[in-house]
Amino acid sequence: MPPRHAATPVDCIRLASRRHLLQVGYSGLMGLGLNSLMPGSATAAESSPAAAGARAKSLIIVFCTGAISHHDTFDMKPNAPKEIRGEFNPVSTSVTGTQICEHLPRLATRAHKYALVRSLSHKDNNHLMSTHHVLTGHIQPGAFFDKVASRDDWPCYAAGCEYLRPRSDGIPSGVNLPTFLMSSPLTWPGQHAGFLGPKYDPWQIVGDPNHSEFRVDALTLSQGVNPTRLDQRRSLLKAIDQQTDVSSDIGAYRMTEDQRLAFTMLSSGQLSQAFEMNRETDAVRDRYGRHAFGQSLLLARRLVQAGVPIVQANMGSVQNWDHHSAIFTTLKGRMLTPLDQAVSALLDDLDESGMLDQTMVMVLGEFGRTPKVNNESGRDHWGPCFTGLFAGAGVLGGKVVGHSDDIGAYPTSAAFSPDDIGATVYRALGIDPHAVVRDRINRPVHLNQGSVIEALYSDVSV
């Protein structure tokens, strides 16, 4: 499905609500580019100690929205009939015995830096339900075909992280970019905090970081407001708060907390500088690629470097990888080359800077594609088997975890569900996957019910 609308070049922060985006903009009272809707701090949830061995300080999710074809990328079937194997050929990689698509040459030479899980599996073939499952590690509550985002949904990983490890330094626990997954009237679930509430929502950045006018106005001081005036306004607000009893007013208390975080952020400039893409050399920007894929992953690296724990970079507009027709022409012509360049540059950059040891990278879609090519030279939705790429933070590079059958239809080894992806993410970040959180009616529920994909960290074959 082609995108219904294009992202604007000038960036803005947006927070998800039930069926629309709520823009965070100018605060007239304070003269700040950030209002009181930004996520605030939280009370720690009931949880057991985090699992031992966690190594990740941050996570970058490279999300191929619409579902990338495993047959034509990371789990090719060259010996299958033509209607299964498709038009692309496999090539050898830097790991003996492992092959991937010929149109991913850079990733082929870096196979020793990542692991492939070829036995991911779930039971859904619907974009919205499957996206929720993959991005939260939990089946969507009350799921049905095209169930849009709601506050009954499970929290995304950034929201779970913020809830259990609240911050007070002005740095958000999660940033999603460069587009929000929405195709009117459908708003994709799995992008926000769900039942935890809007205060734990990740930030939504809408805009192409490759555009010359890309900026985040919400993280800059308004015209005429310099650091001195900002400090004066902070003192004024503090004086007003001291004369006003806000202890019994939850809304007022929330505003003062959010104002404090806004002042912290605007004063330090740490986060706002991360969005200034021109701070990177031309050589670095060229290495990632002067396209939305490349600059989005460069921005993701800059954000985790600034201290953001979880960044999700959506590769393309909503459903950009949903190729029901002309899949080979589309993949070869405009999808695989920029993905190959961007992900390879990200892995190199993180590795060379020493950040890969503490940054987990995941590349995956919401499901796979059908084994058989359809009558329009495309592949349809397929949840029973798909592949994910994992790297960094203790993941053993060069591994292939799990196997699919001769036509890539079903796992022939232990299958791993999105619940297991969630458990792996939380454990990597030092969060107990089975921590207890509270839903909308204050019932205790386990954050995740999956099992860590231990084979990513072990020499044991699966």
Burial (CB count <10 Å: 0-12, 13-18, 19+), residue 220: middle
pLDDT at 267: 52
Query: At which residue do the structure tokens 């506050």 appear?
Result: 151
- Total-model pTM: 0.83
Q: Which two tokens stand for residue 184?
A: 């009117």
Q: Which two tokens stand for residue 34?
A: 């950030």
- Let me know: does 212 contact 285? Beta carbons within 8 Å: no
**Domains identified in the chain and CATH numbers:** 12-456 (3.40.720)
Contacts for 236 with CB less than 8 Å, ≥ 6 apart = none
Give the C-alpha separation, 114 to 325, whole Å.
Answer: 30
How crowded is the C-beta side of 69, counted as CA atoms within 13 Å?
Answer: 34
pLDDT at 168: 81
- Let me know: does 214 contact 220? Beta carbons within 8 Å: no
pLDDT at 28: 28
Digit-coded pLDDT (tens) for 228-286: 554 565 566 666 656 665 444 444 444 454 555 455 555 556 788 999 999 999 999 99
Give the C-alpha separation, 443 to 380, whole Å.
Answer: 39
Using 50 as the pLDDT threshold, list the residues of the chain that sit under it.
1-52, 221-222, 225, 230, 246-255, 257, 261
Q: Which two tokens stand for residue 246?
A: 């806000």
**Closest listed residue to residue 332, CA positions, set 105, 64, 79:** 105
